[in-house]
Amino acid sequence: PGSSCLLLGAAQFMSTSVFTCRPPSVCGQAPLNTRIVGGQNAAPGSWPWQVSMRYQGSHVCGGSLINNRWILSAAHCFTLISGWTMVLGLQTQQGTNPHAVYRAVRRIIVHPRYNGNTNNNDLALVQLSSTINFSDYIQPICLAAAGSTLYNGTETWVTGWGYIQSGGELSLPPPGILQEVEVPVIGNGKCNCLYGPGSITKNMLCAGLLAGGKDSCQGDSGGPLVVKQGSVWVQAGIVSFGNGCAEPKYPGVYTRVSQYQSWISSVITSNLPGFVTYFSSGRNRDVTCSATIAVTSNSILLT
């Protein structure tokens, strides 16, 4: 079943962010975790919910295991519905992976309001052909519940096997080791200023370095952006889109998972994923973007 929420006092935690629901013991655990573009090799088993989604045998997108039968990913990955294989417990894209488990797909459910032009509601659920047995290398991730907050500056982690240079010019060198990168949340106000007012909706979350250098990229799409509280990992975002990869002033944009607790629960009617309400403490030091339009020659400048 899903998580049972118990109110916990914020004073019990000394970190920047706290959750108010006790997470279920079956999600958000990474027993082998000791602690992309600009990222580093991940140790085996560090991110046991990470999924490699393969189309006709080739890695195309990432995803995250959210219970023993379902995977969460991005809607834009599924321009084609058939021909997919899900690989769990994977460390490298080539070579030997002793903990890898393969599953066919029973069905793919794209969010009914997904808009490919605006990237709004960019998420999908994938039902596996049969259930998965958990191990140290295969575990489900907890999901951010409705009402969760991630303030500007909150540190997050993104993982994937995507390109390590913008424009798809440089793929991971063999054997294609899973990459991890730590990036801070950029408030939606600031992110709207960067991408253009109205580009970033309440259903989106931004994260990255304004100076550039660290980001998700092509091939990481659909993968998880996670935050940690104590020993529990919570998925707050799904890799969605960006302006290039790791470009200055253009952080990565992610689907905000907490906006979709109701929809996910309506699709997965049994063995619900664990939802955790994650709150950031302190002040949200974001900005409000106001657009001043100045016409110079034939160009329009937003300031």
CA-CA-CA-CA torsion sign (59, 61, 66, 71): negative
220 catalytic, yes or no?
no
* Whether the Cβ atoms of residue 214 and residue 37 lie closer than 8 Å to each other: yes
* Whether the Cβ atoms of residue 126 and residue 108 lie closer than 8 Å to each other: yes
Catalytic residue among 3, 221, 240, 258: 221
How is residue 20 written in tokens?
A: 């108010």
Residue identified by tokens 């955790």 is: 276
What does the buried/exposed string (b/e) look like for 189-198 if buried means 16 or more CB atoms within 10 Å of the residue's CB? bbbbbbbeee
221 catalytic, yes or no?
yes
Catalytic residue among 111, 122, 148, 220: 122
What does the buried/exposed string (b/e) look like for 6-15 if buried means 16 or more CB atoms within 10 Å of the residue's CB? eeeeeeeeee
122 catalytic, yes or no?
yes
Q: Cis bond leading into 175, ω under 30°?
A: yes
Catalytic residue among 73, 76, 148, 216: 76
Q: Kindly list the catalytic residues.
A: 76, 122, 221
